[in-house]
Amino acid sequence: MKIGLAVSTADALPSAFVAMRDDLGRCIDRCADLGYDGVEFALRHPSQVDVPRIKRRLSVTGLQVPCISSGQVFAADHLYFTHPDPTVRDQAVERIADMIRLAAEFGAMVNTGRVRGVVHVGEAPETARRRYLDCIHRCADIAEPLGVELIVEPVNRYEVNFVNNCTEGLAIVRECGRRCVRLMPDLFHMNIEDASFRDALTAARDFIGYVHVADSNRLAPGWGHMPFDEIFGILKDIGYDGWITAEILPQPDPDSAARQSVRFLRARFEARLVTQSGH
């Protein structure tokens, strides 16, 4: 598996769950020094990325950008797919389309987490579902020719009220029926919403495109009570060997959080490889 870290620009919202807020080039260099394989960019707008400069830093360090996440589009600009106003929905699709084009520059995925939106008061869940599916299909029309995957992240009920657990996420991915739309389990949200890690991950085994990790308290893995050995065993059982990216709080400080994450995850994966080899 490859290990990533979610990072953002210095002006990222306080609600952005990223370990580092800095110039993205410096984030890449710091992550390379710590031993990461890649960096996920949490963005508000694609213009935040100087593509030629970032490509140079990636070339020098050997890191990748596996994913671009869009939570700040929802949190800062209030653009999302289930909005009652079709103009706002159009703006949300346009913003994600621009992120898709940016992702294509790096061979990255696009996380359509909270940007999917909410079920509005007085409206039926089916109304939100219909609006969401229309928007995600429009995004898929752009993503598929570019080879970009759109990943659907279930988010816990305290942040949104639409697609909260992996069962709901899998259902909407299946209903969408587009080959570029896949599921992104986030262990932090799963710990709140899914009754069983094994049942949820096994049911979604053919649709998982990317995985977020954090400990039970949103801190770096190993600093809470998440059953990581059990979860990584399940991921092995279902044949998942893709990216594991830490989306964590920068506590007690960014470098300590980032260092703990990569050390903990690398040690777990290396121990599993030794076990598998029978040594």
Question: Domain containing 49 — which CATH number?
Answer: 3.20.20.150
pTM: 0.94
Of 126, 153, 193, 270, the catalytic one is 153
Out of 40, 149, 193, 247, which one is annotated catalytic? 247
Q: At what angle do helices 254-277 and 24-34 cross, to 10 degrees?
A: 40
Taking the C-alpha atoms of residue 25 and residue 58, their distance in angstroms, rounded to an integer, is 9
Residue ranges of the chain with pLDDT lower than 70?
272-279
| Burial environment of residue 238 by CB neighbours within 10 A (0 to 12, 13 to 18, 19 or more) | middle
Residue 16's pLDDT is 87
Q: What is the C-alpha R_g of the chain?
A: 18
Q: How far is the first Cα of the chain from the last one, in angstroms, to the nearest whole number?
A: 20
**Dihedral of the CA atoms 80, 85, 90, 93 (nearest 10)?**
10
**Residue 21 corresponds to which amino acid?**
R
The helix or strand, by DSSP H or E, that contains position 182, with its residue range, turns out to be strand 181-183
What pLDDT score was predicted for residue 277?
46
Range of the domain at 236: 2-277
Residue 244: predicted pLDDT: 98
Distance CA(267)–CA(201), nearest Å, equals 22
User: Per residue in 86-101, pLDDT tens?
Assistant: 999 999 999 999 999 9
AA identity, residue 215: D
Catalytic residue list contains 175: no
**153 belongs to the catalytic site:** yes
- Other CB atoms within 10 Å distance of the CB of residue 230: 10
CA separation for the pair 208, 204 (Å, rounded): 6
Total number of domains constituting the chain: 1
The candidate with the shortest Cα–Cα distance to 187, out of 64, 16, 17, 7, is 17
